[in-house]
Structure 1
Amino acid sequence: MKDMNELPLGIKQLFTSITYLKEGERVLIITDDDKREIGEFVYKYAKQFFETSMIVMPPTEGHGAEPTEAVTAALNNCDVAFGATTYSLYHTKARLNASKNGRLRWIGLQDYALHMFETGGLTADFDEVTRVVNRVAPFYKGNTFTLTAPGGTHMVCSIEGREPVLDHGTATVPGSASFPPNAEVALGPVEGTANGVLVFDGSIPHPLLNLIEEPITCTVKDGFITEISGGREADILRKMLADFNDPTVYNIAELGLGLNKENFLCGHMAPDEGSFGNIHIGIGKNLNFGGHVDSPLHLDMIIKTVTCNIDGRDIMKDGDLLV
């Protein structure tokens, strides 16, 4: 096969509108023992068109945990890297430094399933997705952020001085990074300012949780989750966070508004985070969002059908975009 039109649609999108890969560029595929099926699927097609290498490593212990030294070195010597791993490498120092220092375009494929290459968010028109993200971005900043949702969420925090971080689902220029089919505008709340209640009723993309059956209620005080209540899934989350034995994992780190209409909640990270009308609250590490909390964890948790208000203006109301 040497015709891109014969590729699975999602694979074709990865090589074209998502990365603008060109002949002669170097492709690196990073995978681990639990996601080799995804890594090898991308590798099978990438090697037909580009100089492609693949590294297999053990799964890291969680989102944001550093990869092996060999992966860190390889990231500094490629044009496009696909991270087909169990947990996200996006927030790692290895990825951040490679994006800052070199020519790297980073595409996170963590927590992928094969069906995602054929249906859902990867089939979106990414030019249109980019237009939507860019349209929302100027409105997604200010001083006071108020979040509500029908499930019982009501939280207020300061976003003063914080600039929106955009993920168009594409990485087309050196230094850029994305996590297709996610598409979002995100903000890092000012540390210590978030107060209220968060009710997670969508999903928590993690092998132990995924689609939420019984809502998880989290009390937030002065920037940290202080109490977690609910059923079996709340117990899993509570233990998972406690096992870190590190208070930073409870930090409210991110307010990420999903903006890809082709996505749907399915228990996988990229489509869930980028699902239109929902928000994901990231906890733990916030270095990528203008903050200074360097936590061993960055975990995103989704709330459905949200209303986001900044300084008295509704950006989204009951899941409908108003800007």
Structure 2
Amino acid sequence: AISGHSLEDTPKARKLCDSMRSFDQLLANGEADRALACIRSILTECSDGTELKLKLCRALLACGRHDELFTTCTTLQAKKEMSEQFKSEVEYMIAKALTQMGRLSEAISRFRELLRKDPDNADYQSECKKLKAMQSRVQEGDQHLSMANFSQARNLYNEALDMDPTNDGFAATVFSRRAETFQKQREEVASCSEATNKAQKEVEQAQKELELAKLRLERAQQRLKDSRASSERVLNSFREDESPASEAPDPTSPYFEMKSKDLVGKWAIFKAIDDSCNALDRDPSCVRALVCRARCYTLIEEYDEAILDFERALASPKLNENPLAVNSVNVKDELKDVQRKLKFAKIDHYQV
């Protein structure tokens, strides 16, 4: 039935019924795009039907348009006249949309609510179990990343990716984290090299100071020896004058060509850029991937590219989703720093 419209034997009603049957057939045959176009056409003629909106949601799910699916289902869920069966289906599609958008915690909560109403549903159980395993791998990977256990973190992220390789929203999230493992590992290597070089310089300076100290010590010892000898002569002379019989007293891209210096661990920079690109191919507004790639571009003095990525990150609607991972204030400061570096960078007139 088409809610809110008469199904009398009129040409318009027969046309709508034929379109509905055509939609059902297209969706059953796996022609999701054509089915979506068909239901959109129906909705232009009959826009207030709850069942039609539900069919639109099914088509959006089949087409993989998860952002629009989430918005449509959320609006549809607010309606009071839906049956319990329709409500469960809408809740399920919201859970699926959240899953494909990479919002695992919210998706798990939705599936738990579905299981509360239908605890024996095998599909709900399977989906919820898989999502929990994916979330667990990512969380364990994040813990290892925070402890600088980069190889272990990457292994866990890879396991998470293998659990749902077609989930672009989730993959973008995981790729951005994996990109950070390469970037931060390279930073750690560079930091260790810098600390080693600093310590080496301190040792060299200390050795120089030690040599000077030794020289000063030898001179001081010689002066002390001369002073004691002089004192002894004076004292002996004095005592001889005073009493001739007295005795004297005892005395450590494949992608870009470095323009100014050879950085430590360049391979890690390139791997971080590669994984950031993988994340951005799946989610062009992924803030963590944009910031990570911008920092890598800064390291290799590709300041123009870095500025573009920082500006994209600041313009992204997802900038403040996880302030612990990416802080908008820090991003602005880093952008200013790169702009300053670009201003004073040496111009290469031969660069193509």
TM bracket (short chain): under 0.3
The answer to which structure has the higher strand fraction is 1
> Larger relative contact order (C-alpha < 8 A, sep ≥ 6)?
1
Q: Which has the larger radius of gyration?
A: 2
The answer to which structure has the higher helix fraction is 2
TM-score by length of 1: 0.27
TM-score by length of 2: 0.26
